Amino acid sequence: MSSHPPAPRRPKVTLRTLQRKKAQGEPITMLTAYDYPTARIVDEAGIDIILVGDSVGMVVLGYETTLPVTMEEMLHHTKAVVRARPSAMVVADMPLGSFQVDDAEAVRNALRFIKEAGADAVKIEGGRERAATVRRMVRAQVPVMGHIGLTPQSYLLIGGFVRPGKSEDERERLLEDALALEAAGCFSIVLECVPAEWAREITRRLRIPTIGIGSGPDCDGQVLVFHDLVGLTPFPPPSFAVRLLNAYELFRQTVEEFRVRVEQRSLFPTPMTGG
Ligand code: KIV
């Protein structure tokens, strides 16, 4: 096993860093990571926020949706990311069932991410119906990121991964959700698959930064699932994801080369000496 030299240090990204970036019009970068090496890669590349997303359920654990993901799974992956000691802010995604039952349980679970796993903040899905929960979490000293638009945890209720509609009512509802989350104390909000014009308007109306995914170029920042960006999934990425590499194919070819070399007896690792 190779040793792990510490990652080059940069100042820790905090809520103040994000607020300053919004004020100065500097784009905020966010990527998912679910394990130690990926967290190292993302952090060393200078990304502002690492999201330990419940998308881990789909891209790493093989679930068809994010619904089965548990608190214990999220804590396990968050701890692995935090062990990379990233300068990036680490945001842990609260899975379905961990914050919807009642506010006391939501606060207890949010605090587990901070105290047990070492996360810097949590993210929860939902609009104004989550405002009271956000308030309780913030009062318990937990920074909270909101998430509106396409909310994968609503899969059963909405009947799929459905983008928000395009009606005027929907536009107003999303804006009011964003304002309610800001008033409740969220430090930032993810806008997923929100029409670009609406995302621009929400971004302009909020004092806190918006982070877009499939929501056009005018949010304060952009987020992607790491595995979609590097092409490390056996299935095609969502239509809005940018794929800059085909890692799945690269890994598959490399493993095939290993198999062929072993079968041809042409792979001779140097034997360990001494001891
Ligand atoms: O779980 C996740 O990766 C997310 C992002 C898509 C924002 O919520």
Count of structural domains, the chain: 1
Query: In angstroms, rounded to a whole number, what is the distance separating the alpha carbons of residues 11 and 13?
Result: 6
Q: Summarize pLDDT for 155-178 with one digit per residue, the tens.
A: 999 988 888 888 999 999 999 999
Q: What is the largest CA-CA distance in the chain?
A: 74
Q: Is the pLDDT of residue 6 over 60?
A: no
The tens digit of pLDDT for each residue in 112-148 reads: 999 999 999 999 999 999 999 999 999 999 999 999 9
Looking at residue 56, its pLDDT comes to 98
pLDDT of residue 116: 98
For residue 54, the CA-to-ligand 1 centroid distance in Å is 6
66 Cα: distance to centroid of ligand 1 (angstroms): 10
Residue 251 lies in a domain: no
Q: Is the CB of 213 under 6 A from ligand 1?
A: yes
Domain residue limits at 194: 15-246
Q: Is the CB of 190 under 6 A from ligand 1?
A: yes
Beta strands in the chain (DSSP E): 28-32, 49-52, 89-93, 121-123, 144-149, 188-192, 210-213, 221-224
Kindly give the number of the ligand 1 atom that is closest to the alpha carbon of 125. 8
CATH (domain of 30): 3.20.20.60
Q: Are 150 and 163 in contact (CB under 8 A)?
A: yes
pTM: 0.94
228, 230, 248: which is closest to 239 by C-alpha?
228
Q: Is 153 in the pocket of ligand 1 (CB under 6 A)?
A: no
**Ligand 1: centre distance to CA 214 (Å):** 11
Percentages helix, strand, coil for the chain (3-state, rounded to 5) are 40, 15, 45
Instruction: Indicate whether 253 belongs to any domain.
Output: no
The residues that are catalytic are 192
Q: 186 lies in a domain?
A: yes
Residue at 258 is within a domain: no
Inside any domain, residue 114: yes
225 lines ligand 1 (CB under 6 A): yes
Q: CA 65 to CA 45: how far, in whole Å? A: 29
Residue 218 lies in a domain: yes
55 ligand 1 Cβ < 6 A: yes
Mutate-to-test residue for ligand 1 from 55, 81, 189, 210, highest number of ligand atoms within 8 A of CB: 55
Residue 124 lies in a domain: yes
Please report whether residue 273 resides in a domain: no
**Which residues partner with 111 through β-bridges?**
none
| Residue nearest (by alpha carbon) to ligand 1 atom 8 | 53
